[in-house]
Amino acid sequence: MQPRTCLFSVYTLTTTLVPLLVAISANALPTEEVPTSEPGYFAKVRTAAPEQIVAKSTITMKMKDGTNKTLQSGSNGFTCMVGGDGTPLCADENALAWMKAVGAKTEPPNKVGFIYMLAGDTGTNNEAAGQRASHQHWVQTGPHVMIVGPMVKDMPGYSRAVDAADPTQPYAMFPGTPYEHLMLPVTEK
């Protein structure tokens, strides 16, 4: 192969593959890793919501002893964190109360809440909250926002199929349970 042809081939390959790899990595779903260093934690939590939301949010980090450490005090009513499953998220006050109810397996508050998960999630069982060990009814959603609260059960037009949840279309997660909520995939325009 001529040196000039070889250089052209390398150039063509590089200019074709690099943008493709950047696009793929930009759309990668989060890992289950929960960073333990504050810089690593901040970097992951910044992927949860638009920059202007994260910048004015309270950011908390769960410590090894189970307590939460506030890394940043906020002013916009959102709290951002990396969940125990590695999913970065930002939730408003009502959504935080809903998340606590899910974790405690208690009745969720009768309020509408909003959660950003713009990095996507690490997947879960779509039939029952908190059952990650079983991959039965497994669904993993890319970048999305969530509307939570008991009133979402009254919102028609969203798929409520446990086995056929299409994570590229809006759907109800945990259908038929007290923790049913809307998953609304988003794409960058």
Per-residue pLDDT of the chain (189 residues; tens, 9 = 90+): 554 543 343 333 333 333 333 333 345 666 667 888 899 999 999 999 999 999 999 999 998 888 999 999 999 999 999 988 888 999 999 999 999 999 899 999 999 999 999 998 776 655 555 554 555 545 667 899 999 999 998 888 888 876 656 778 898 888 888 999 998 999 865
> How many residues does this entry show for the chain?
189
Q: Give the pLDDT of residue 99.
A: 93
- Residue 8 has a CB neighbour count (10 Å cut-off) of 12
Strand partners, 103: none
Q: Which pLDDT value is given to residue 124?
A: 65
Q: What is the largest CA-CA distance in the chain?
A: 72
Q: What's the pLDDT score for residue 7?
A: 36
Alpha carbons 134 and 174: distance in angstroms, whole number: 14
What single-letter DSSP state applies at residue 159?
A: B
